[in-house]
Amino acid sequence: MTIQKPSIPKGTRDFLPEEMIRRNYIFNTIRKVFEKYAYLPIETPSMENLSTLMGKYGEEGDRLLFKILNSGDFMAGVNFNEGTPYQLAPKICEKGLRYDLTVPFARFVVQHRDKLTFPFKRYQMQPVWRADRPQKGRYREFYQCDVDVIGTKSLLQEVELLQITYEIFEAFKIPIVIKINNRKILSGMAEIIGLPEKITDICVAIDKIDKIGKENVFAELREREIPEEAIVKIEPFFDFSGKNEEKLAFLEDFFAESEIGKKGLEELKTVFAYCQEVGITAPELDITLARGLNYYTGAIFEVKATNATMGSISGGGRYDDLTGIFGLKDMSGVGISYGAERIYDILSECNLFPDEIGAPVKALFLNFGEMEELYALKALTELRKNGIASELYPDKAKIGKQMSYANAKQIPFVIMAGEEEIKDSLFTLKNMETGEQIKTTLREISALIHFRSSING
Amino acid sequence: MTIQKPSIPKGTRDFLPEEMIRRNYIFNTIRKVFEKYAYLPIETPSMENLSTLMGKYGEEGDRLLFKILNSGDFMAGVNFNEGTPYQLAPKICEKGLRYDLTVPFARFVVQHRDKLTFPFKRYQMQPVWRADRPQKGRYREFYQCDVDVIGTKSLLQEVELLQITYEIFEAFKIPIVIKINNRKILSGMAEIIGLPEKITDICVAIDKIDKIGKENVFAELREREIPEEAIVKIEPFFDFSGKNEEKLAFLEDFFAESEIGKKGLEELKTVFAYCQEVGITAPELDITLARGLNYYTGAIFEVKATNATMGSISGGGRYDDLTGIFGLKDMSGVGISYGAERIYDILSECNLFPDEIGAPVKALFLNFGEMEELYALKALTELRKNGIASELYPDKAKIGKQMSYANAKQIPFVIMAGEEEIKDSLFTLKNMETGEQIKTTLREISALIHFRSSING
């Protein structure tokens, strides 16, 4: 037997209990809000047919797909002397790991359309995989939490997603700013400068504004053969600050001659009006917000934490034809995605994880030996019947070691019963935080632990 | 744009909301029990290094591993003319998908030993992947729910796992029988017949008793070169029925000359004694229970549902050296695994899913048009603030269509507000089950829905 040094693939992670408890707090908080807003869970397989995934994420995305080698004789009929690795891979791999939750969702909606009720409101919280170069904060396996409604064009849904977003981050105590734009505003801009066919080039360039700044965006536009007079025309888009109302007034003038621009403006105004009705802060109109994904057709959102320097922690938008590629036309939807790992990082950095989630186990019985063990065992069974998460140290180890165990697991109460306690049918309860000890009945211990849990969560 | 027929890889599944809600009920029920018994969650990556997985599940297992094609130029330095697919696969794939939760757990314990507190009690509920031929009830991606404690030899832990098992299936209302044996009993048997080195062959053959019957097990033992006189000696093992006490008495005699057999007997007796102390039914001693996995060294368990014909729904045992291959000796542990899909099937077949989990959304506001919509929207926001999962139909569709939506989503209450209700600041509430309607205030509606939820769960 050769001994192997234990390790895991780069870019992947193990989660220890302390991290799991924090991660579950994040997922549960998000899930609770999703469910209150009447979204229901679905799950899709980790593997999709490669044909479902390929070509949906651009050439770069195709390269980042993890491909699964066909079982059995994967080599049959394949000539490895002809073709590049990139061309040969799909011949020996029929399946790939999910790259995001959006394409599988579109595939799911079309495949199960007869069983679903539309508008279909779903959430999905599952890992995705990308063969990206691992670096700080970027992993090859990470979770996405997506919420989407598909089958309605109502702008009420945009506002619902904004409500959900505010509520989630309020629960986390993370202060945020939501930025909003509308793809039709960008289309209108392309129309006004007489280059409607250049909309994708324009969006790709503008999308980088935060990272590279205005001048470099202009340089990229020039590279993409946008003429100088067009750039001059759209420059005001980038020099813009002020309130939403001022921006709307500017756009009103700017889009006098663009139908699509006017439509985008109309949609924005409706969303702002609904926000007022439901009593939430209107998102900040950012007319340079583009978001790279080319399936967006209406509203687009981006969420930033104001207490952290990192990029966006959430984003989404409306798409009118996501399901078209799988054969289902006219299914407008809108969705938003929350990144669990970034939320985790902010909560950690800002020390925002609630204390009470750290102590899932409430009590430990110490083990003093065979006879005492049986006495403790019965009491333990009773505590658990009362719904108290608790345990008995399984061996008669040194007391210091047993106490360290309680400390490491952050167990707030230790319960001891030696000869004397057993004689009186009592137990000694030690509060691990204060050090206080009392000798009392099991019933009182149970009540005490319940009381402490109820105030500490 | 070519249109693709949507499909998923064979042996994998999509889960629609109705199924997800049921699956989550299963996972939550199991998780609650695990946590009450002071087990903490961990997670490991979906991908492991292939070197971690290969050779741990036998040759058949190696073939069933899903392998992930190396990113980039996977062909560099590989001669595809030399070697079989089976030999070449590891050269182009460094990683594979998790096959079970046990080997990753062993790897995890060794890798993180410095950060863990022993005895380490963990649970893990994650999917695993096997390239098995798909058939009814057998999938290529399925969930395992494993609970293990490692770092103690105390037989208290065996009993704790039995308690957990009874409690989980009691929560599901699934009647079960737990069978128990001890690998040392089987080792003792091999010793008594003078063939201690044949223990693996004997276990593999005996493991099939349920499927192929006694005569065929004997035939297989003969094939594995177990002499006739040995088979005669162990025959009583198979003709055995009666109470645990009778079986123990038989074994007492049988193992007069076998130290290891006596040790196994001792362990069984201790477990039975603890069962009595904590007030649970002792598991049924089945001295032909072998379980195929060769890492077991002590107690072995198997759980069957008595209301279903399928095989075991849960199983596990004690292992003394699972972590040895990764370089950590003397780490005895014991664990048990619950199969979520089989539990799902039994709950479905026997109609045991609780009714109340089926209606996560409590109320739907109908949409009567622009003005009414705003009135409903404010009331909706209020209901959600009160913690009631509810929604507003986003479009002014035909009432019949909106009602069908409520029915399909099993929403128990529909709320209507037209001109008249708005004038009086009231709402009409319709109970979708009874058909009753009342006109009342939002406050009362909120109280009513809360009351109904509190009695129906």
Q: What is the secondary structure of B315-375 as a DSSP string?
A: EEEEES-TTGGGT--S--EEEEEEEHHHHHHHHHHTT-S-GGGG----EEE----HHHHHH
If residue B151 lies in a helix (H) or strand (E), which one and from where to where? none
In whole angstroms, give the CA distance from residue A108 to residue B432.
Answer: 29
CA of A307 vs chain B CAs: smallest distance (Å): 26
CA of B137 vs chain A CAs: smallest distance (Å): 16
Give contacts of B384 with chain A, Cβ < 8 Å. 36-37
- Is the pLDDT at B361 greater than 90, yes or no? yes
pLDDT tens per residue across span B268-326? 999 999 999 999 999 999 988 988 767 899 999 999 999 887 778 999 999 999 999 89
Least confident of A403-417, A426-440, B72-86, B341-355: B72-86
Q: Which of B101, B384, B390, B446 to mutate to test the interface with A (most CBs of A within 10 A)?
A: B384
* A381 to B278: CB separation less than 8 angstroms, yes or no: yes
Give contacts of B21 with chain A, Cβ < 8 Å. 40-41
CB atoms within 10 A of CB A84: 9
* A107 to B6: CB separation less than 8 angstroms, yes or no: yes
- Is the pLDDT at B20 greater than 90, yes or no? yes
Give contacts of B154 with chain A, Cβ < 8 Å. 394-395
Q: Residue B240's pLDDT band (boundaries 50, 70, 90)? A: confident
In whole angstroms, give the CA distance from residue A169 to residue A175.
Answer: 7
Q: Which of A443, A416, A411 is nearest to A427 (CA)?
A: A416
Q: What is the pLDDT of residue A456?
A: 66
Give contacts of B69 with chain A, Cβ < 8 Å. 66-69, 89, 92-93
Give contacts of A142 with chain B, Cβ < 8 Å. none
8 Å CB contact between B378 and B385: no
Q: Taking CA atoms, what residue in B is nearest to A122?
A: B17
* B395 to A154: CB separation less than 8 angstroms, yes or no: yes
Determine phi and psi for B123, rounding to 5 degrees: -125, 160
CA of B248 vs chain A CAs: smallest distance (Å): 23
Q: Which of A1, A3, A8 to mutate to test the interface with B (most CBs of B within 10 A)?
A: A8
8 Å CB contact between A165 and A314: yes
- Is the pLDDT at B137 greater than 90, yes or no? no
Cα-Cα-Cα-Cα dihedral sign, residues A210, A214, A215, A219: positive
Q: What is the pLDDT of residue B456?
A: 66
8 Å CB contact between B99 and B57: yes
Q: Which of A149, A202, A145 is nearest to A23 (CA)?
A: A145
Cα-Cα-Cα-Cα dihedral sign, residues A290, A294, A296, A302: negative
pLDDT tens per residue across span B417-451? 999 999 999 999 999 999 999 999 999 999 999 99
Q: Half-sphere exposure (CA, 13 Å, Cβ side) for A298?
A: 24
B48: β partners: B96
CB atoms within 10 A of CB B193: 18
Residue type, B43: E
Rg (CA), chain A: 28
* A7 to B49: CB separation less than 8 angstroms, yes or no: yes
Give contacts of A6 with chain B, Cβ < 8 Å. 52, 107-108, 110-111, 326-327
Q: Which of A15, A23, A36, A294 to mutate to test the interface with B (most CBs of B within 10 A)?
A: A36
- Is the pLDDT at B405 greater than 80, yes or no? yes
Give contacts of B42 with chain A, Cβ < 8 Å. 14-17, 20
* A390 to B24: CB separation less than 8 angstroms, yes or no: no
In whole angstroms, give the CA distance from residue A343 to residue A336.
Answer: 15
Q: Which of A394, A401, A181 is nearest to A290 (CA)?
A: A181
* A37 to B378: CB separation less than 8 angstroms, yes or no: no
Give chain B's mean pLDDT: 93
Q: Taking CA atoms, what residue in B is nearest to A35?
A: B389
In whole angstroms, give the CA distance from residue B324 to residue B238.
Answer: 34
CA of A322 vs chain B CAs: smallest distance (Å): 12
Give contacts of B3 with chain A, Cβ < 8 Å. 324-327
Q: Which of A416, A255, A328 is nearest to A109 (CA)?
A: A328
- Is the pLDDT at B457 greater than 60, yes or no? no
- Is the pLDDT at B4 greater than 80, yes or no? no
Q: Taking CA atoms, what residue in A is nearest to B35?
A: A389
CA of A81 vs chain B CAs: smallest distance (Å): 9
* B43 to A129: CB separation less than 8 angstroms, yes or no: no
Residue type, A418: G
Q: What is the pTM of this model?
A: 0.95
Q: Closest to B394 (Cβ–Cβ): which among A66, A154, A404?
A: A154
Q: What is the pLDDT of residue B1?
A: 55
C-alpha distances in Å from residue B269, one per residue of A301, B159, B179, B279, B315 = 65, 12, 14, 15, 20
* A374 to B40: CB separation less than 8 angstroms, yes or no: no
In whole angstroms, give the CA distance from residue B125 to residue B140.
Answer: 16
Q: What is the pLDDT of residue B401?
A: 97
DSSP state of A44: -
Instruction: Please report how the helices B259-278 and B156-171 are oriented relative to each other, as an axis angle in degrees rounded to 10.
Output: 50
8 Å CB contact between A405 and A424: no
Q: Which of A146, A156, A182 is nearest to A296 (CA)?
A: A182
Residue type, B109: V
Cα-Cα-Cα-Cα dihedral sign, residues B363, B368, B369, B374: negative
CA of B108 vs chain A CAs: smallest distance (Å): 7
Q: Taking CA atoms, what residue in A is nearest to B274?
A: A374
Q: Closest to B361 (Cβ–Cβ): which among A38, A364, A404?
A: A38
Q: Closest to A95 (Cβ–Cβ): which among B6, B9, B409?
A: B9
* B392 to A13: CB separation less than 8 angstroms, yes or no: no
8 Å CB contact between A63 and A129: no
CA of B412 vs chain A CAs: smallest distance (Å): 13
In the predicted model, what is the mean pLDDT of residues B48-61? 91
Q: What is the pLDDT of residue A1?
A: 55
* B391 to A37: CB separation less than 8 angstroms, yes or no: yes
- Is the pLDDT at B390 greater than 70, yes or no? yes
Q: How many CB pairs under 8 A join A and B?
A: 293
DSSP state of A80: T
Q: Closest to B278 (Cβ–Cβ): which among A4, A377, A391?
A: A377
Q: Looking at chain A, how many residues does it have?
A: 457
CA of B180 vs chain A CAs: smallest distance (Å): 21
* A13 to B45: CB separation less than 8 angstroms, yes or no: yes
Give contacts of A88 with chain B, Cβ < 8 Å. 75
If residue A333 lies in a helix (H) or strand (E), which one and from where to where? strand A333-339
* B149 to A40: CB separation less than 8 angstroms, yes or no: no
In whole angstroms, give the CA distance from residue A133 to residue A10.
Answer: 9
C-alpha distances in Å from residue A7, one per residue of A91, B9, B102, B110, B131 = 30, 30, 15, 9, 24
C-alpha angle A286-A292-A298 in degrees, rounded to nearest 5: 60
3-state DSSP call for residue B333?
Answer: strand
B146: β partners: B124, B337
* A46 to B129: CB separation less than 8 angstroms, yes or no: yes
In whole angstroms, give the CA distance from residue B218 to residue B232.
Answer: 10
CA of B294 vs chain A CAs: smallest distance (Å): 15
- Is the pLDDT at B226 greater than 70, yes or no? yes
Q: Closest to A384 (Cβ–Cβ): which among B37, B88, B384?
A: B37
Q: Which of B109, B107, B141, B145 is nearest to B126 (CA)?
A: B145
Is ipTM strictly over 0.90?
A: yes
% of chain B with per-residue pLDDT over 70: 99
CA of B96 vs chain A CAs: smallest distance (Å): 9
Contact residues for B81 (Cβ-Cβ < 8 A; gap 6+): none
3-state DSSP call for residue B441?
Answer: coil
Give contacts of B390 with chain A, Cβ < 8 Å. 36, 38
Q: Closest to A394 (Cβ–Cβ): which among B13, B154, B404?
A: B154
Q: Taking CA atoms, what residue in B is nearest to A54?
A: B4
CB atoms within 10 A of CB A144: 18
Q: Which residues of chain A have pLDDT under 50?
A: none
CA of A310 vs chain B CAs: smallest distance (Å): 25
CA of A315 vs chain B CAs: smallest distance (Å): 22
3-state DSSP call for residue A58?
Answer: helix
Cα-Cα-Cα-Cα dihedral sign, residues A48, A51, A56, A59: positive
C-alpha angle B355-B389-B344 in degrees, rounded to nearest 5: 35
